[in-house]
Structure formats: structure tokens, C-alpha cells
Amino acid sequence: MQATLLSILALALLGTLHAQDSIPVQADFQQDKLTGRWYSIGLASNSNWFKEKRHLMKMCTTIISTTAEGNLEVTSTYPKGDQCVTRNSLYTKTEQPGRFSYTSPRWGSKHNIHVVETNYDEYALVATQISKGTGSSTMVLLYSRTKELSPERLEMFTQFSREQGLADDEILILPQTGEAGSTAM
């Protein structure tokens, strides 16, 4: 019985590691070029919070800067009710350029973040594997330097999200707002 349980846990861990390895990372990633202002254009996720809040989500403004240690400070501003809320996250660099880790102090979830593809001056596609307790979820974000992107970039985001196992009802092109929006990275 114990050996069977250990085998199941080992297979689950191996599956999680394989899923993380299967997410590509931008070749020749240049972290300094990722800094600056971005807008969340698309969000896809199979998490419960996304399903519950999807109808409320709007475009978000995100500022990315590099810390002295080489990590990323990610500051997102989004509307919540009649006010703007700002959330700061510190993405810790890993041994692989373009890959970061983050642990949510509020929820205790662990985030394995991959900058999948970017041309730095137009768009960035970011995929995150999130694990908390025994559950896990996937989140894909499409960032843009402007509030609009070409239909080709939107289709690239949708197609990549599907390749990560997300269904069409788990993929959202976010409605525009003023300077803030409602998503979480």
C-alpha cells in the first residue's frame, strides 16, 4: 500500500516537472528589455478564481522593473469597484534566463513563471504554472506595450493557451479601461 502511494506521488511529481519543462522560454532572453509599462491584453486560466471573476476582469497596467539582485519587481494596477488597487510582486530569477519563481504571501501558492515569447517593444507572452497544496493550475498572459494588438498576436495567444490545455471558455481578451484594469499575474 505504501509503495503504491509513493509510486503515485512520484508519478504526480514527474508529471508536474514535465509540464513545467514543456513550457518554452524566450531564446536569448534579455531581461532589461522586458522592463517598463505593459498592458494585460489577454488572460487565460483554468483556476477557480478565474472562473469566478472572469466577468469582472478588465485590462491591467503593469510596470516591470529590475531589482539590484536581478529579480523582477512587478507592479500591477487594476480597478476594483470605484477605486484603483495596486499589487506588487517580486519574481525571483532562476538558473534559466526568462524563468522566474514567486510565492504568493496571501495565498501560499507557488508560481513557476516563463517568459515564453516577446519582441520586447510590442508584446510578451507569459505562462505560469501555479501549485497550491494538492492542486495546480495554468495561467497565460498576453502583454502589450499599447492597449491594442494585431489580430495575429491575439490568435497566437489563443493558440498557445489551447496548447497548454486551456479551453476556449478559459481564454479571455480583456476589455479596455482607462489606466488600470483587473487581472493578476
- Contact yes or no for 46/170 (Cβ under 8 A): yes
Residue 152, burial from CB neighbour count under 10 angstroms (0-12, 13-18, 19+): exposed
Q: What is the DSSP letter of 168?
A: G
In this structure, what C-alpha cell is assigned to residue 173? Answer: 481578451
Residues annotated as catalytic (active site), given as ranges? 60
Rounded CA-CA distance 32/51 in Å is: 34
